[in-house]
Chains A and B, each alone.
Chain A
């Protein structure tokens, strides 16, 4: 019940295309859903995050879509660029009311390659 399932494992997109990565969770107590971007040799960096009270959040070319009833959320990268080539991780945690489980549960990651 603590798992976050991420797909696909790898994704190849042409420059200018749309990259879509999907995640699903079981634990309905999760109330914080971030996406992280990781380049080789670096730690993951927060890209964008969403709370379950909204269905969509957009920041520049990055959009999170959230479907609470289906327990799914996805990352859309519009106008994908070669510089977006990285590994993307979805995650979930319980922020609760001032307290938390304290740790993020991560998906296994998606390696995105954007071809020029």
Chain B
């Protein structure tokens, strides 16, 4: 069974540009979660999508947005990139929105803003 896959692995962007990160959940999983892992700050919750809808949002500005497609894959968009957006962006999936079956993480996308 394939795990959670994220692309690209690395992404370098210039301040002010837009970045698009992609996530494919485990087959059969309907919920996708996005986290930002900045150095020394642990994992900060960004967004949760379930069944195509945004269910919850962390304390991040509106320039962080995303969507979930009918096949449950998801993309995270970051507009007007700032230097402090440089981080590892992790995607996780779970079987459903209850979380009772656990969360499986991908290996992340390393975003560097220069």
Q: Which residues of chain B have a CB within 8 Å of any CB of chain A?
A: 4, 31, 33, 35, 40-45, 48, 50, 55-56, 58, 90, 92, 97-100, 102-108
Q: Is the CB of A46 within 8 A of B98?
A: no
Q: Which residues of chain A have a CB within 8 Å of any CB of chain B?
A: 6, 32, 34, 36, 41-46, 49, 89, 93, 95-96, 98-109
Find the B residue at minimum CB distance from A107.
Answer: B42
A interface majority secondary structure: loop
Q: Is the CB of B33 within 8 A of A100?
A: no
Q: Is the CB of A95 within 8 A of B42?
A: no
Which one, B98, B103, B108, contacts A104 given CB within 8 A? B103
Which one, A43, A95, A101, contacts B107 given CB within 8 A? A43
What's the nearest-Cβ distance from chain B to residue A108, in Å?
4
Q: Is the CB of B105 within 8 A of A99?
A: no
Given A89-B42, A104-B103, 5 new contacts (CB under 8 A): A32-B100, A34-B102, A95-B98, A100-B97, A109-B42
Q: Is the CB of A32 within 8 A of B41?
A: no
Contacts of B102 on A, CB cut-off 8 Å? Answer: 34, 46, 49
Contacts of A109 on B, CB cut-off 8 Å? Answer: 42
* 9 A-B pairs in the complex with CB atoms less than 8 angstroms apart: A32-B99, A32-B100, A41-B107, A45-B105, A89-B42, A93-B99, A102-B97, A103-B56, A108-B40
Find the B residue at minimum CB distance from A9.
Answer: B40
